[in-house]
Amino acid sequence: MCENEAFYARYDNFPANPGHIEIVPKRHIESFFELNESEILSAYELIHEAKDILDEKYLPEAYTIGINDGKAAGRTIDHLHIHIIPRHQGDVADPRGGIRRAAPNCDPDTWK
């Protein structure tokens, strides 16, 4: 899809939505917190480049961007990857809370 010196973008093997991609470091690391400053900037640049491609091809109204950093957070592949998921109104019944809904007992109806 696209790449730079430190990262490449690829379509997710099990996409949550059409166009779901992953930004993957070329250097083997497991955690976002292992990235150095230069790598963080490279990741950010590639995220924007991939977003431009997704904007043109999938016309999303929004994005969910996330990292499952550790097994307790749901990581199943022991190599860092940043999920970029194109989103559209109505793709889930109730998107309130977004990424917070990944944790139990996170009901937006209880938020005041």
Predicted local distance difference test score (pLDDT) of residue 37:
97
Q: Residue 9's closest CA among 36, 49, 41, 37?
A: 49
Cα–Cα distance measured from residue 64 to residue 4, given in angstroms and rounded to the nearest whole number: 22
Q: Residue 84's closest CA among 104, 108, 55, 41?
A: 55
CATH number at residue 74: 3.30.428.10
Greater pLDDT, 109 or 43: 43
Report, as an integer, the average pLDDT of 70-94. Answer: 92
Backbone angles phi, psi at 46, to 5 degrees: -70, -35
Backbone angles phi, psi at 63, to 5 degrees: -140, 145
Domain total of the chain: 1
Q: Is 37 left (phi over 0), alpha (psi -120 to 50) or beta?
A: alpha
Range of the domain at 86: 2-110
Range 12-17 contact pairs with CB under 8 angstroms and sequence separation of 24 or more: 12/83, 15/85, 16/64, 16/83, 16/85, 17/85, 17/86, 17/87, 17/88, 17/91
pLDDT tier at 103, thresholds 50, 70, 90:
low
